[in-house]
Amino acid sequence: MAINVLEKRALMGAIAFVAVSLGLIAYATWGLGINVPTCIPLQTKPFDQASVTKHDDKFYEVHYIARMWAFEPSVLRVPTGSTLDIYAVTKDVTHGLEIAGTNINLMVVPGAIANGRVHFTKPGIYTIVCHEFCGKGHQNMTARIEVSDSVTDAEVEGLPSSAGMKLLEAKGCLACHTVDGSASVGPTFKGAWGSTVQLSDGTSHPLDVALFEQIVRHPTTTTVKDYPPVMPELPVTDDELKQIESYLEGLQK
């Protein structure tokens, strides 16, 4: 091939650039041990409960559930120096799980398990961001990991524990209402029971059994001021409603 000598040099330069880049990538992968998520064979069914398991001192396995539009656990506190093996599955659409400021950056895809390992050397509050569009509440989908010297073992919030909480989860309420006071599509449940609620029709009532049932049974006609009228009518038995009510009653500020 009779190509120009300058052109040949440009080609050589480009090949050298690629070679150096590949060398650096190889070093990052095998030398520094920074890798991307791999395939976890799905012989076992994906887990359907969020959990934190202690394997060793400051070494935890955390199972995250991603759903429209929240993570469970929503708050996780671990001591400084902890290593977390993170596994995540989704209950609905594809989500992202990024722990800002770390190398954890995962896609949480239906039918597969996302996995990564993170080591927290510095104390601080680390934001977990859903970075894949997952519906109109996408910007609300966040959680946090608090790393500090003041805790000696892992603590969690936002895990289903009581019957009422399990129902809130099963009926899909938690997609739009939080239990930790943070903002979402609908008003938070935290501290809501007994508080005065302004309705769209201009009236105000304390949130009691009567108003709560009115909202659940007729979500399109009874709506809270400043919130979009998007709540669906969910099939809930009277018994279930009582369990939810007693759970909400206990969920004070």
Q: Which of the residues 172 through 211 are near another protein (CB under 8 A)? A: 172, 175-176, 181-183
7 counts as binding another protein under rule CB under 8 A: yes
Q: Residue 212 corresponds to which amino acid?
A: F
Q: Return the half-sphere exposure (C-beta side, CA atoms, 13 A cut-off) of residue 9.
A: 2
Distance (Å, whole) CA 207 – CA 228: 19
Q: Which of 63, 64, 66, 67 binds another protein (CB under 8 A)?
A: 67
- The region of 50-58, 133-141, 190-198, 199-207 touching another protein under the rule CB under 8 A is 133-141
DSSP letter at 233 equals -
Task: Kindly state the smallest distance separating residue 64's Cβ from another protein, in Å.
Answer: 13
Q: Which of 1, 149, 150, 202 binds another protein (CB under 8 A)?
A: 1
220 counts as binding another protein under rule CB under 8 A: no
Distance (Å, whole) CA 25 – CA 11: 21
Q: Which of 228, 229, 242, 250 binds another protein (CB under 8 A)?
A: 228
CA distances from 79 to 32, 84, 135 (A): 24, 11, 34
DSSP letter at 45 equals P
Q: Residue 252 corresponds to which amino acid?
A: Q
125 counts as binding another protein under rule CB under 8 A: no
- The region of 51-59, 99-107, 218-226, 238-246 touching another protein under the rule CB under 8 A is 99-107
Phi-psi region of 158 (alpha: psi -120 to 50; beta: other; left: phi over 0): left
Question: Mask: binding to another protein, 16-45, rule CB under 8 A, as x and -?
Answer: -xx--xx-xx--xx----xxxxxxxxx---
Task: Kindly state the smallest distance separating residue 213's Cβ from another protein, in Å.
Answer: 21
Distance (Å, whole) CA 195 – CA 249: 11
Positions in 136-175 near another protein (CB under 8 A): 136, 138-140, 142, 172, 175
